[in-house]
Structure 1
Amino acid sequence: MSVEVLDGATIVNFVEDEEAFNLAVRHRFGNLDTNHDGLLCYAEMLKELQSLRVFETHYGIDVKLDPEEIARVYDSLFVQFDHDSNGAVDLEELKAETKRMMLAMANGMGFLPVQMVLEEDGFLKKAVERESTKIKQLLN
């Protein structure tokens, strides 16, 4: 994890760079597709759903959550990705939903820079790295 500064424009620019965004989604899909069948079942998607950090601690105090409630939330998140309701998520579904979520995040964030803790292999970290590379290229 690292602390980075980003804004909505950084996210939008990353999503709109089809080559960079598609490469990042394909890479993530490949890591999640443990049985290499070209589809992500619920068990394979669970790691990705958990990375969305829907459940967090509050001010350092762990809150005991009902396991059934947690399961319902993750089930509903899976349904958001499984656009054709076939019980699995393909690459295009992952790409479409990831794009939708990232653009919603950018919209909510706005264009004022904020400092965030980002996971090293996460989409937001890739967006920041892409932006840094572009800036370095302009300066050279």
Structure 2
Amino acid sequence: MSVAIVDGATIINFLEDEEAFNVSVCDRFAYLDTDHDGLLSYAEMLKELQSLRVFETHFGIDVETDPDELASVYESLFVKFDHNLNGTVELEEFKKETKQMMLAMADGMGFLPVQMVLEEDSILKKAVERESNQVATA
């Protein structure tokens, strides 16, 4: 994990760089596709959703969460990615939904800088690294 200062522009600029975004999404998809069948099952996506720990923490502090409620939320999130409702997530579905989530994050942040903890190899970390590399070469 690392800490970085991020704002909405960091994310928007990353999404506008289609090559960088597509490479990052494809890498993440391949990492999640543990059986290498070109599709993400619920079990494969569940690991990723659980790693976010969105519902298990409140302002960084662990909270007790109803397991049934948590399972329902994860199933709903999976369906959000599974646009054609065939029980698996294809690369294009994953790419489209990831982009929508990142746009929502950028919109929520606006252009005020926010200090964030970033997971190694996360798509958001790659956006920050891309921005840092551009500043360093300018």
TM-score (ref. length: structure 2): 0.94
**Which runs of structure 1 show a deviation greater than 6 angstroms over 4 or more consecutive aligned residues?**
none
Provide Cα deviations, 1:32-85, integer angstroms capped at 9, x if missing partner: 111111100000111121233321333665432221111100000000000000
Q: Report what 1:86 is aligned to.
A: 86
Q: Which residue of 1 aligns with 2:21?
A: 21
The alpha-carbon distance between structure 1 residues 61 and 128, as it changes in their structure 2 partners (threshold 3 A), is: closer
Greater Cα shift, 56-65 or 111-120: 56-65
Give, in whole Å, the separation in 2 of the partners of 1:61 and 1:127: 26
Q: Which runs of 5+ in 2 are unaligned?
A: none
Question: Which structure 1 segments of 5+ residues have no match?
Answer: none
Higher strand share: 2
Aligned positions of 1:31-42 closer than 5 A? 31-42=31-42
RMSD of aligned Cα (Å): 1.3
Q: Residue 134 of structure 2 aligns with which residue?
A: 134
Are 2:40 and 1:44 equivalent residues in the alignment? Answer: no
Aligned to 2:70: 70
> Could you report, residue by residue, the CA deviation over 1:78-119 in whole angstroms, capped at 9, with x for unpaired residues?
000000000000000000000000000000100111111111
Amino acid at match of 1:77: L
Q: TM-score, normalised by structure 1?
A: 0.93
SS in 1 for 2:22: helix
Separation in structure 2 between the aligned mates of residue 59 and residue 19 of structure 1, nearest angstrom: 34
Aligned partner of 2:109 in structure 1 is: 109
CA distance in 2, matches of 1:57, 1:114: 19
Assess, with a 3 A threshold, how the Cα gap between structure 1 residues 66 and 10 changes in structure 2: closer, same or farther. same
How many residue pairs match? The answer is 138
